[in-house]
Amino acid sequence: MDPVAAKYIGAGIACIGMAGAAIGVGSIFSNFLAGALRNPSAAQGQFTNLIFGFAVTEALGIFSLLIALLLLFAV
């Protein structure tokens, strides 16, 4: 296999992590909204957990993007 082709295949596989992060962020916000509509008084207490979950999930997506870019443009 050509090394350049393998590099492109590896970068494409690394981008799957970004799709997982997008699904994770959607799941976090949908579950928060469902819980907030059921119990509005507890929504404010769970907001910090929402932001923390969003940050961790988005960081994993950015990490997978970084790996893909390193595979494409590193020496």
pLDDT tens readout for residues 20-64: 999 999 999 999 999 999 999 999 999 999 999 999 999 999 999
> Which residue range forms the structural domain that includes residue 13?
3-73
Residue 59: count other Cβ atoms within 10 Å of its Cβ. 11
* pTM exceeds 0.85, yes or no: no
* 65: CATH: 1.20.20.10
Give CA–CA dist 44/26, Å, rounded.
19
Say if CB 65 and CB 18 are below 8 A apart: yes
Structural domain count, the chain: 1
